[in-house]
Structure 1
Amino acid sequence: MVLRGRSAAMSAAMPALRRAARHGQSGIVVVTGEAGIGKTAVLDAIAAQAAGMGFRTGVGKADEIGRISPGAPVLLALRSGSSPLLDAAALADLDDLTEHPLVLLDRVGAHLERVAGTAPVLVVVDDAQWADQLSRLALRVLPDRLAGHPVVWLFATRDPADELTAPPGPAVRLEIIALGPLAAGDVAAIARDRLGRPASAATQRMLDGVGGNPFLVTQILDGLAGGAPDGVPPGSFVRAVEAALDGLPDRTVVLLAAVLGRPFALDEAQRIVPSVGSADVDRAVAAGLLCRAGHLLSFRHDLVRETVYAGLSPSARQDLHRRCARHLLASGHDALAAAPHARAAATPGDEESAAILCEAAHQAAGSLPETAGELVVEAFELVRPAQESWQPTGERCVDVLGRVQRDADAVRVADAVLARATDAETSARIQVLAARALWRIGRPAESVARIDDALTAPGISVALRARLHAARALALTRMAPASQSRRAVEPALVDARAVRDHDATMLALQAMGELARNSGHHAESLAYFRELRAVSGTSYLAEEIIQLQLLDRFSDAGALLEAAHRDDRGGIEAILPSLTAARMWQDFSLGHLDDAEAGARTLVTIGREVGDHLHELDAVLVFSASALLRGEFAEAAERLAPATSGGAADEAVRLPGLRLMEGWLAASDGRAEDARKILGPLLFGARDSSADWPWWPGWMRVFVRVGRATGDQRLVREAVSIAAEGAARNRGVASFQGVALALRGLAHLDLDALTEANVVLDRCPRPLLRGNAAEDRGRVLLAHGRRAEGLAELDRAWSIYRGTGARAAMAAVQRVMRRAGARRAKWETDAARPRQGWAALTDAEVKVAELISAGHTNKAAAHLLNLSPNTVSTHLRSVFAKLDVNSRVQLTNAVHALRQTG
């Protein structure tokens, strides 16, 4: 069988064999490493290699019991095998000399010298750490005595400080080979060798748990090959661990070590379980269950710990975990450190564990949102309605779930608590929390109805009443035109500040930010969201980023996105839907369609997992828009279809974006009249809409082109007017100013306005807007008979579109230029990216493939690329599909093969 992962060890041993075989030089090779690390396998492989080179080889092995037999390992090496180094007569001569060590060494040396005169010799002694005194004397003395003869000594020892590793005399060269754990790729290869297939996920988890120890790896694989259930340690291994435990008078310290799951000191163990003594530790170490690293104790291998842990009775396990949780809290650790033990100790109705989990969730909400959500739901599910802590635990659960954007779960828990709430104040507090969650998932009408009901109850405090009014004002920003919602939002902020209620102020500031965005006052909106971030941490970072994008400040938006992903605590909000959506819009607006689609796929997954239908809808819109820009109209319709059939969000929130996409799709597909019928009502209701789409640069061009194609001048005038209002509300923002000029020029075929628009949009970071303006100016120049200038401008538009992958716009430009009698060689050489193979990978996918093949985890790759681990996973799935691979190992092989051929 192939020896996996030890090529370096073999390479280090081979020079000694070659020197002996070719030049008659002696040498020593010592292989060191912990038990089970594969020393014996390396010795066997070296011995086999030596035999192939013509060596006469003898192999011996020391053992702990055999220490009472003087010289046994050396004598065994001399008489082992079918062709022993010493013949029967020579061995008989040695049998009676063990009591005369110096004579014995002299005779052995003389015999080996004669053998070495006919062929090079290899003497192998395994487990030399157990060798008796006579054997150790022989192994120290004989190499020097036989210097100058082709004799190589090969020893294996667990002890890196063994005296056998000391340098011999100058005439004998010493090579020390320290074996470490096998690499992950080598473990995977061993699994394929022994199982005939790649390891399953369950098997891989066990293999990961033994730290690359070859003995434990092969124990697991041989057990599986022999029919053991997948994911379960082999019976022989389990029985060995159980036997070691049974040999201990008191196994408490080992069981505690299994529950702690980390290195610990004896004094810490005694604080958790006072009965643990130093003698118990010594016995556990002697039995090979625990090992020492300085003053700390731990298991030698994770699989041993897992086996001990699996053998614990439920009651013993819960008792030890509860003791560990209490110890951590008593010794100054926070609830997050104690939470794993509280989880494991928890039983139904366990208020102590629930309190720990709740506090841990609160601590984790800012930096570990997924963990926070899981912890707080577990805490709520532990307590029972009859218990005193049930209501406050539920309220805290709703709060944390809202903070980590698990809004559907927040509403579910809120309803459960409200059904049993007995006082108006508690109900009102929970309704505020539910209202925020309902707003985020696009159900503002339900939010208003709940709040109105809560406001009718007597006895609500002034601060809480201000909070309810602020929550209602926020909901109205998604229900009513800006002019109407402003009448509720501005007084809510005044009241909140007057009563100095923090939560009310935050809700009212958010409402003001949303109101300003929905009315197209983006600088004002940014100011409110920045004030929110100042008082609330990072909770509104995504909103601030979106406003920076709308103000053409993409570099500032990118800096905030990168900072979120670089954060040392694990990304803060980087894994939340809002930040993923902000990154997606950043990529889409900058024309990075491949990256935007990857973000959209990630967002769809997250949205479905946490019930965030609004962000899922955002993703669908970007999916469909990307397909439209590439000219894949059928795919755009297919991507849009599921969102149009229904959804959990209110229609007033959900439908405007979908109708916009349906109209754009109809226009792109040549169905101008259908587009006019879809888009007309949207445009003429834009000023009274609660949506923010009219104040995103770019949309109005679709309306103008549809109006011109159908002869609907009223549609054209309204779109030009709204674009001009957007520019007036966002003075100095190139996207708004340039689009307004371009649409005015397009509507009136005004070349001066189109020329000025192109000058302004040269400062705009949105490539599609620059391409649109260049295309429109080029078309008008052709219409004015200025062919050369028009074709030059259309060429510029084509190049901009090509840089983004907007193939539909490229094709449209080509058609116009062909009608004008122009041909370009680059049209023929340009081709769409293939769907399979390396050429199909996007730039981002190539980076991910290279990092993963270099051994990085998803999390490490995400950190290096300023992406979320979810997005890296999305890229990786796409890479697997395009390269037709199904594992990281196969990907690594594919990358290496490409480099060799490239």
Structure 2
Amino acid sequence: MSDDEAVVGSDGVAKSIRGRDTELARLRHAVSALREGKSAHVLVLGEPGAGKSTLLDFVCDAARAASIPVALVRAGGIPSAGVAATLAEALSAPNVAAIDTATATQMDSSVELRYWWVQELEAAIERLAQPVLVVIDDLQFADELTRLAARALPLRLGRSPVAWVVAQRTRDFEQRSTHSRGGSAALDDAIVLPRLDEHAVFEVAADILGGAPNTEIRTLLAHADGLPLRVTSYARELRDAGVTQLSEGVVSLAVDYAGEHDYFADPVERRFGLLSLPARQLALSASVLGLQFTMTEVLALTGLRAGQILEPVEELLRSGILHDSGGALEFEHEIVRSAAEAQLDEGKRNLLRRAAYALSRDDGGRPTTLGQRALRAVEHTEFEEEGAPSRVDALAIVEDALTIVLDEDASLAADLIERRLQLLDVSGAGLRAAMADAIPVMLHAGRMAEARELARRGIAANMDPDEEVAARLALAQLTTLDEPRATRENLDVALRLPVKSPVLKARLAALSTRPYTTDYLYDALELVLPAVRETVLAAKDDVALSTFEHVEAIAAFHRHEWAFAREAISRAEERGQRTGGSETWFASLIRVSLLRSVGRPLDALLSIDREIRAADERRQALALLHLQLVRANILLDLGRLDEAEIQAEAVRELAEDIGAEWTVDVGAVSILAQIAVHRDTPDVRDRLGPAAARFAEDKVAHQRLGGEWTELLLADISGDRTTIEMRTRGDHYRSRILGPPVGGASDILDDVYFTRLVLENGMPERARNVESMARERARITEAPIAHGVLDHVVGLIDGNPRRLESAARVYKEISRPLAEAAAWEDLAVAQSVADSVTSADALRRAHTLLSSCDATRSLARVEGRLRDLGERPPVRVSTRNALGLTAAEQRIVDRAVRNETAAEIAAYLYLSRNTVTAHLRRIYAKLDVRSRQQMIEVVRAHGVAPR
């Protein structure tokens, strides 16, 4: 299709897409890539009326001409009316049929499970095994599931034959990008639609008028300012008014039309003046229903009979103001709808808006539509316009809509609750309670700044003590990254308030034990828990007691009093099961962390796998996130670097999907950095992404989740000795004595790495501090791993081969191959001058262990040391099959060949589904295939899959 080839518009007039040659080429390239079985992702940004939808229509037509199925999403559409209103509905359309209609309906009605539905959508698209074009118009109006899928799936399906073309208003894209990580795509890679130049404006007008406009008409068109919607509105007005004449290919005005009309007025508004009275009244009334609506809704809203609206609707369709969208009616553009609504008398407009909301409420309409109509219905309450609801009625509308929208659309719920606050009296008690209710809603919607401001305003307005505690807890959570002092102050004040709820007291204690700042954590363990324990015990509330016992277990874990931690978590779990508490998974998390800490990683892995399967089956996203993070750590302990890397990437993916706090993401980054210590990585900072750099550079993060440790890793990998020298001169003792947070990426073996770094940088006094810490930990815990770390640290400081050999044997007993290899290598270095035979033997032991872990970077270093001793390095033993697949990947392939779904494979292997899909994506990349069927063909051809 050439640039000038006509695309038929909704008004039946052939029109060309003018002034968009570059953009059209980009879209054609996406379709061409799709025909070749490649993926593509195009984000179209522009202001309202810039022509985004026209470009989307073009790419849809191009794909259909190439016999490629198109899943079209017109955001804000009406269910069961033939309109693809969500991605789920679009993929269930007959031309695509990736999922069935029943599944699509379930997805639309179960937004709280949107993370799992995204997994379903990914699997459904991948199962198609054929090219498909996904087009989403007006992403800013889409439901949460579609917005999440539009952000996540283009990247995950990057090796599948799927093209994504997504349109969004520039303003909404910029706002969303500032409030969320990722966004739909980088602005630099998007198509940003400028206004049309003068030549393109004249071409658009010529297409509509049938000839080149003369100077007089060109002067009129200049008032459109190059906005495509205005240009077409001006030209259509002239055409439909019949005031033009064509002579020798040039169009001129037959009458002084410009002198009779105000051409500085909005041309979109003027179009309604050309309609008959019934058509105009119908368009204006229907405008309150939204961009799309049904004939049934129009009849119910206006009270007219079907026969009375047929002719007006046909006129509106002929004029292009309305389109027929497969059983529903749709305004040509949101600008057109807004222009119609603006022409309504304010009294009638307000009454119709209220009627539209009532209509949606009575018919059990889609929550998103109901919420949007509720917001429009109460828009003018404060101005006391005629027909607007009173403040009391408006509050009732907002609160009623909020109950329906709250669990369906976090962003819309935040808008409703913000409106609720505006409607309440400035100083009333109701406002304070509403602020307390609003804070968690704002947090869930990712509007952190607004949540913080609400908490501060509520506290200033003298909240009820329980409400103030909740607000201060929210502030403590919101200020930890950049205001640790404010975090501590809020927690201190909250602890002194006369709180009635023992559960709040227990949760306050729980928050205070999180390592927001190391110093405060230390004080909390000593001061906060005793202060709260008396209140909680006196209340005799099982829920509060269960929560508090979890807190005590965490505190004991940090103090390395692991025997007491086991007892506390057992009590908490038993009480939680009796009361139906939801923290059973957290008890299991602590128990697994204890198994890992005392040196039983295999037992920990078996336990965590069972918990992951249970969390996935129960669809507990937060539980699954933390459990997977711990699993990644355990895999790292066991030297299963490939699996640990996959698991860490799955954690980052899930954290992004559910909007989890970034500390979980950087926990995964720490794992990836530790893997990079042992693996060849060309540019580790680029590979780990911006989260790693942010984590490593954040001054507060150094005191949280091993932030200092991660920066030292990155500096060591990249050879940045300056950073190492700077970081190793800080006060390391206090930040390490408490040990890692539950589920975090830190480990007491970190202190061996740290000791090696400070010794290499000529700071033996710092190494002695670590020795003192390791000795105290070994005394408290009496765990084998703690004694192994002590032997290793002392062996490094003193160059003592016996202590290093002792550490290596301890690590062997507790299945820590990477740690064992490090101990043998350190022993070899200590003996290299005195006993080269012993040194070479130790290096061979290290080589065997590192080879089993496929730790290529560490292997190269050990092989270099052997050559320095005049020894030939042993042959590396590959852990991969003929196609380069690891044992874990081969297990996935074996199940996939049996045509099992990702969910079935996950259940069989006790993994989460997103871990399985992460494995499959890695396998596709290794085999250079784009679908499961291609993968099966390749592995069978090479004889590495069951027949």
Report the TM-score when normalising by structure 2. Answer: 0.52
Q: In the alignment, which residue of structure 2 is the partner of 1:562?
A: 609
Q: In the alignment, which residue of structure 2 is the partner of 1:137?
A: none
Q: In the alignment, which residue of structure 1 is the partner of 2:534?
A: 494
Residues 795, 448 of structure 1: CA spacing in aligned structure 2 closer, same or farther, 3 A cutoff?
A: same
1:549 aligned residue (590, 596, 610): 596
Q: How does 1:848-887 map to 2 (within 5 A)?
A: 848=892, 851=895, 855-887=899-931
Structure 1 counterpart SS, 2:883? helix
| Contact 2:751/2:770 (<8 A) preserved | yes
Residues 833, 862 of structure 1: CA spacing in aligned structure 2 closer, same or farther, 3 A cutoff?
A: closer
Q: In the alignment, which residue of structure 2 is the partner of 1:727?
A: 778
Q: In the alignment, which residue of structure 1 is the partner of 2:638?
A: 590
| Structure ranking higher on relative contact order (CA contacts 8 Å, 6+ apart) | 2
Structure 1 counterpart SS, 2:688? helix
Q: How does 1:799-878 map to 2 (within 5 A)?
A: 799-827=848-876, 839-848=883-892, 851=895, 855-878=899-922
| Contact 1:853/1:892 (<8 A) preserved | yes
2:513 aligned residue (468, 474, 493): 474
Does structure 1 residue 199 correspond to structure 2 residue 69? Answer: yes
Q: Deviations over 1:790-838 (max 9, x none)?
A: 43332221111112222222222222222222214505xx67989xxx8
Distance 1:817 1:229 in 2: 56
Q: Deviations over 1:470-492 (max 9, x none)?
A: 36743677341665331233222
Partner letter of residue 425 of structure 1? P
Of 462-471 and 490-499, the range deviating more from structure 2: 462-471
Residues 409, 474 of structure 1: CA spacing in aligned structure 2 closer, same or farther, 3 A cutoff?
A: farther
Distance 1:229 1:757 in 2: 57
Q: In the alignment, which residue of structure 2 is the partner of 1:289?
A: none
Q: Tell me by how many angstroms 1:390 deviates.
A: 8.4
Q: In the alignment, which residue of structure 2 is the partner of 1:660?
A: 709
Q: How does 1:299-310 map to 2 (within 5 A)?
A: none
| Contact 2:398/2:416 (<8 A) preserved | no
Q: How does 1:64-213 map to 2 (within 5 A)?
A: 196=66, 198-202=68-72, 206=90, 208-210=92-94
Residues 648, 757 of structure 1: CA spacing in aligned structure 2 closer, same or farther, 3 A cutoff?
A: closer
Q: In the alignment, which residue of structure 2 is the partner of 1:519?
A: 559
Residues 857, 472 of structure 1: CA spacing in aligned structure 2 closer, same or farther, 3 A cutoff?
A: closer
Q: In the alignment, which residue of structure 1 is the partner of 2:766?
A: 715
Q: In the alignment, which residue of structure 2 is the partner of 1:748?
A: 798
| Contact 1:633/1:669 (<8 A) preserved | no
Residues 735, 606 of structure 1: CA spacing in aligned structure 2 closer, same or farther, 3 A cutoff?
A: same
Q: In the alignment, which residue of structure 2 is the partner of 1:428?
A: 468
Q: How does 1:16-35 map to 2 (within 5 A)?
A: none
Of 768-777 and 436-445, the range deviating more from structure 2: 436-445
Q: Deviations over 1:267-305 (max 9, x none)?
A: xxxxxxxxxxxxxxxxxxxxxxxxxxxxxxxxxxxxxxx
Partner letter of residue 698 of structure 1? L
Distance 1:522 1:210 in 2: 59
Distance 1:213 1:705 in 2: 59
Structure 1 counterpart SS, 2:599? coil
Q: Tell me by how many angstroms 1:324 deviates.
A: 8.0
Q: How does 1:9-408 map to 2 (within 5 A)?
A: 196=66, 198-202=68-72, 206=90, 208-210=92-94, 346=371, 347-348=373-374, 349-356=397-404, 361=407, 380=417, 385-386=422-423, 395=436
Q: Deviations over 1:359-386 (max 9, x none)?
A: xx5xxxxxxxxx7978976985796653
Residues 867, 800 of structure 1: CA spacing in aligned structure 2 closer, same or farther, 3 A cutoff?
A: same
Residues 801, 314 of structure 1: CA spacing in aligned structure 2 closer, same or farther, 3 A cutoff?
A: farther
Q: Tell me by how many angstroms 1:614 deviates.
A: 0.8
Distance 1:344 1:694 in 2: 43
Structure 2 counterpart SS, 1:580? helix
| Contact 1:467/1:503 (<8 A) preserved | no
Q: Tell me by how many angstroms 1:585 deviates.
A: 1.4
Structure 2, unmatched stretches of 5+, are: 1-60, 74-86, 102-132, 138-324, 331-351, 375-396
2:789 aligned residue (739, 744, 769): 739
Distance 1:461 1:553 in 2: 42
Distance 2:856 2:710 in 1: 18
Distance 2:594 2:418 in 1: 39
| Contact 1:694/1:722 (<8 A) preserved | no
Q: In the alignment, which residue of structure 1 is the partner of 2:490?
A: 450
Structure 1 counterpart SS, 2:519? coil
Residues 380, 602 of structure 1: CA spacing in aligned structure 2 closer, same or farther, 3 A cutoff?
A: farther
Distance 1:192 1:841 in 2: 39
Distance 1:575 1:633 in 2: 34
Partner letter of residue 746 of structure 1? L
Structure 1 counterpart SS, 2:423? coil
Distance 2:518 2:649 in 1: 29
Distance 1:372 1:548 in 2: 40
Q: Tell me by how many angstroms 1:625 deviates.
A: 1.7
Q: Tell me by how many angstroms 1:493 deviates.
A: 2.3
| Contact 1:372/1:400 (<8 A) preserved | no
Q: In the alignment, which residue of structure 1 is the partner of 2:827?
A: 777
| Contact 2:880/2:887 (<8 A) preserved | no
Residues 527, 396 of structure 1: CA spacing in aligned structure 2 closer, same or farther, 3 A cutoff?
A: farther
Does structure 1 residue 612 correspond to structure 2 residue 661? Answer: yes
Q: In the alignment, which residue of structure 2 is the partner of 1:758?
A: 808
Q: Deviations over 1:478-522 (max 9, x none)?
A: 341665331233222233323446676566545544433443334
Q: Tell me by how many angstroms 1:461 deviates.
A: 4.1
| Contact 1:482/1:690 (<8 A) preserved | no
Q: In the alignment, which residue of structure 2 is the partner of 1:268?
A: none
Residues 856, 660 of structure 1: CA spacing in aligned structure 2 closer, same or farther, 3 A cutoff?
A: same
Partner letter of residue 913 of structure 2? P
| Contact 1:424/1:460 (<8 A) preserved | no
Report the TM-score when normalising by structure 1. Answer: 0.55
Structure 2 counterpart SS, 1:494? helix
Q: How does 1:646-685 map to 2 (within 5 A)?
A: 651=700, 657-667=706-716, 675-685=724-734
Q: Tell me by how many angstroms 1:647 deviates.
A: 9.1
Residues 619, 705 of structure 1: CA spacing in aligned structure 2 closer, same or farther, 3 A cutoff?
A: same
Distance 2:704 2:686 in 1: 15
| Contact 1:624/1:635 (<8 A) preserved | yes
Residues 652, 569 of structure 1: CA spacing in aligned structure 2 closer, same or farther, 3 A cutoff?
A: closer
Distance 2:903 2:915 in 1: 10
Residues 599, 528 of structure 1: CA spacing in aligned structure 2 closer, same or farther, 3 A cutoff?
A: same
Structure 1 counterpart SS, 2:728? helix
Distance 1:213 1:483 in 2: 57
| Contact 1:739/1:769 (<8 A) preserved | no
Residues 895, 816 of structure 1: CA spacing in aligned structure 2 closer, same or farther, 3 A cutoff?
A: closer
Does structure 1 residue 700 correspond to structure 2 residue 751? Answer: yes
Partner letter of residue 487 of structure 2? S
| Contact 1:470/1:496 (<8 A) preserved | no
Q: Tell me by how many angstroms 1:867 deviates.
A: 2.7
Query: Greater CA radius of gyration, 1 or 2?
Result: 1
Q: In the alignment, which residue of structure 1 is the partner of 2:343?
A: none
Distance 2:547 2:675 in 1: 34
Q: Tell me by how many angstroms 1:565 deviates.
A: 3.1
Distance 2:792 2:644 in 1: 26
